């Protein structure tokens, strides 16, 4: 980034389109504009591109192409998977008591609203039951044993995000899944507990491989890894019976699971972004961590004990690009700092949350409210440089000094 321009540090909220992704989109819209279900040239080209993109998406997470279904984005994917679990519960004819019970979900208090609010709606509407497992204040993670203690005879799904968007703390999803899969189910209980993770924040930053993470469902969000605002879901062995119930009905596209004429241009961009992750993930991860670590070193050097880095636990891993921190003191709320900043473009946390209250995520992992209210989330990207960080820290210093004077 130019030293005279703003410094964008909100890559966890959204990423720009990679130039190769933009080229793939425009080329497809120009040359493969036909209906992918048609037999003429432009339609056939579109179909080929969609198939190639599906392969790239599968390669990115170690899956089979037949297990990938394209969606409009993460919110649709999460809603769809949770809805499938409810329908699966009621379709099970082997559990005698299901007609008298509601499906039971287990989730965490760290989830994105596209999981959290769906489950809250289901509970309030009398559609489902839900146990919200609290993350440990010692690790910022959902602990495996706490999940296991929440399992009931009518538990149908465990859904825990792969990495938190505000703190970057990586959740032990693989261990949770392995332990839940090992549970013996008894007559009258759900025969299988379905497993889901929202991998929106992890894709493109750390390795995500479904051979290592034994979930049944995984949500992918394009605009978190330099792709357009579309996405996909992974369904393990979809062609062998893992349940997926359509939300929509229509022309039969996506093998009748998600009908509607495919958005070939955006799918092409998604596939190209996945291809870039497959080719370059190690380099991406190394760069992100190097710049993020430099950011934290500079914050500590400049502000010393006036700064508190939130969610940095010795026992937990974080995404390599994410730093959540707070200035200590009155009048230093995160939104006030950002309002004064001349160069920094960042956020106080999740883009869909109010800026005027303490983050529920930070409170959930034990950050005191006065510290949480002052939080800022800086998330670096592939093009972020150490020079950008220097500009950002100088900008923060100016904001901090001005606000401190105003509050005295």
Q: How far apart are CA 246 and CA 321, in angstroms?
A: 35
- Tell me the three state secondary structure of residue 197: strand
- Tell me the three state secondary structure of residue 196: strand
- Tell me the three state secondary structure of residue 8: strand
User: Quick count: other Cβ atoms within 10 Å of Cβ 167?
Assistant: 31
Q: What are the structure tokens assigned to 337, written together?
A: 């700092």
Torsion of CA 44, 48, 50, 52, to 10 degrees: 180
Catalytic residue among 88, 177, 352, 399: 352
Torsion of CA 328, 333, 335, 340, to 10 degrees: -70
The 8 Å CB, 24+ separation contacts for 306-314 are 306/400, 308/371, 310/167, 310/362, 310/365, 310/367, 310/371, 310/372, 310/375, 311/140, 311/164, 311/166, 311/167, 311/168, 311/169, 311/362, 311/365, 311/367, 313/138, 313/139, 313/140, 313/141, 313/169
Q: How far apart are CA 233 and CA 217, in angstroms?
A: 7
SS (H, E, C) 111-133: CCHHHHHHHHHHHHCCCCEEEEE
Q: How far apart are CA 112 and CA 132, in angstroms?
A: 13
Q: Nearest-CA neighbor of 343 among 376, 389, 308, 383?
A: 389
Q: Angle CA(287)–CA(360)–CA(344) in degrees, nearest 5?
A: 40
Cβ distance 51 to 255 under 8 Å?
A: no
Tokens 């949350």 locate to: 353
Q: What's the length of the chain?
A: 408
DSSP state of 318: B
352 is catalytic: yes
Active site residues: 352
């Amino acid at each position: 980034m130019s030293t005279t321009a703003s410094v964008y540090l909100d890559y966890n909220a959204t990423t720009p389109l990679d130039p190769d992704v933009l080229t793939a989109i425009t080329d497809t819209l120009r040359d493969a504009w036909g209906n992918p279900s048609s037999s003429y040239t432009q339609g056939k080209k579109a179909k080929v591109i969609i198939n190639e993109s599906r392969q790239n998406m599968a390669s990115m997470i170690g899956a089979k192409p037949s297990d990938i279904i394209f969606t409009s984005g993460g919110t649709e994917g999460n809603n769809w998977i949770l809805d499938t679990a409810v329908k699966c519960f009621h379709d099970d004819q082997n559990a005698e008591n299901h007609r008298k019970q509601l499906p039971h979900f287990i989730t965490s208090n760290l989830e994105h609203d596209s999981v959290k609010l769906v489950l809250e709606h289901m509970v309030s509407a009398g559609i489902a039951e839900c146990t919200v497992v609290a993350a440990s204040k010692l690790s910022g993670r959902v602990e495996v044993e706490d999940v296991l203690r929440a399992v009931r005879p009518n538990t149908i799904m465990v859904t825990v995000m792969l990495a938190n968007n505000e703190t970057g703390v990586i959740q032990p999803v693989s261990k949770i899944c392995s332990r839940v899969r090992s549970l013996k189910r008894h007559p009258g209980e759900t025969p299988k507990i379905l497993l889901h993770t929202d991998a929106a924040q992890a894709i493109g930053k750390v390795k995500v491989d479904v051979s290592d993470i034994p979930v049944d469902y995984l949500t992918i969000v394009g605009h978190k890894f330099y792709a357009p605002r579309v996405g996909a879901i992974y369904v393990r062995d979809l062609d062998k019976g893992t349940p997926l119930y359509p939300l929509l009905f229509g022309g039969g596209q996506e093998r009748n699971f998600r009908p509607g004429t495919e958005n070939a241009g955006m799918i092409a961009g998604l596939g190209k972004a996945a291809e870039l992750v497959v080719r370059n993930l190690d380099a991406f991860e190394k760069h992100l961590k190097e710049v993020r670590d430099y950011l934290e070193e500079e914050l500590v050097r400049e502000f010393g004990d006036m700064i508190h880095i939130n969610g940095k636990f010795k026992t937990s891993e974080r995404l390599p690009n994410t730093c959540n921190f707070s200035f200590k003191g009155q009048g230093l709320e995160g939104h006030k700092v950002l309002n004064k900043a001349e160069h920094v473009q960042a956020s106080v946390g999740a883009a869909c949350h109010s800026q005027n209250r303490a983050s529920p995520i930070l409170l959930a992992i034990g950050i005191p409210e006065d510290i949480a209210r002052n939080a800022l989330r800086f998330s670096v990207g592939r093009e972020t440089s150490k020079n950008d960080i220097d500009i950002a820290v100088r900008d923060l210093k100016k904001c901090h000094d001005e606000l401190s004077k105003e509050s005295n």
